């Protein structure tokens, strides 16, 4: 990748929660080697999504369960690209990859409850990778001006965390 923009959100341990990453309105951070710092709304060159639990540059372990990834408000995808995955085999994302982290996209949901009764989820396992994440590349570029919100459900068991990193999840868009 050449550049990225990122939204970081706090997470609560031991419960399912839906987290939205709004690149139009949330605080964001850019990492650009081009000498510019464009607003994400002005970007049309981003096609890779990276999800990272408890930040990078550490060697702590964490396991997280991710479900219901959506690009767009709620569950509507009125404008392309149509990017979603509920990990039930009907999603549009076919290339989830773990980068120094495990990415099991058909893991039996170990925490079924009223907040998430889905039978399968993505299991994210970071055993201490410095830049561990799960990611995918979309077939089309994201147009943040037209549709700037991404959302996920996430569950992080407190028993899975080692170290003292801040409990947070980052969603990064890269090119």
Tens digit of each residue's pLDDT (9 = 90 or more) over 8-51: 999 999 999 999 999 999 998 887 766 677 888 888 889 999 99
Q: What is the pLDDT of residue 40?
A: 87
Flag residues of the chain having pLDDT under 70: 33-35, 73-81
Beta strands in the chain (DSSP E): 3-10, 17-22, 29-32, 48-53, 62-71, 84-85, 97-99, 102-108, 120-126, 133-137, 149-155, 168-174
Q: What is the pLDDT of residue 59?
A: 83
Report the candidate in 84, 94, 154 with the shortest Cα–Cα distance to residue 123: 154
Cβ of 48: how many Cβ atoms within 10 Å?
16
Q: What is the pLDDT of residue 102?
A: 95
Q: What is the pLDDT of residue 1?
A: 74
Tokens 């999840």 belong to residue:
169
Q: Report the predicted TM-score, pTM, of the whole model to 2 decimal places.
A: 0.92
Sign of CA pseudo-dihedral 118, 154, 46, 106: negative
């Amino acid at each position: 990748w050449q550049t990225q923009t990122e939204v970081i959100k706090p997470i609560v341990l031991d419960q399912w929660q839906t987290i939205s990453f709004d690149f139009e309105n949330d605080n964001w951070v850019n990492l650009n080697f081009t000498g510019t710092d464009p607003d994400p709304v002005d970007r049309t060159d981003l096609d890779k999504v990276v999800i990272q639990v408890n930040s990078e540059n550490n060697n702590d372990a964490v396991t997280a369960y991710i479900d219901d990834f959506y690009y767009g408000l709620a569950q509507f995808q009125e404008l392309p690209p149509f990017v979603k995955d509920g990990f039930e085999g009907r999603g549009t994302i076919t290339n989830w990859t773990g980068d120094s982290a495990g990415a099991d996209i058909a893991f039996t949901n170990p925490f079924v409850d009223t907040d998430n009764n889905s039978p399968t989820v993505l299991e994210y396992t970071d055993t201490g990778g410095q830049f561990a994440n799960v990611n995918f590349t979309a077939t089309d570029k994201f147009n943040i001006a037209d549709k700037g919100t991404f959302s996920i459900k996430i569950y992080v068991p407190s028993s899975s965390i080692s170290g003292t990193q801040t409990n947070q999840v980052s969603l990064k868009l890269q090119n």
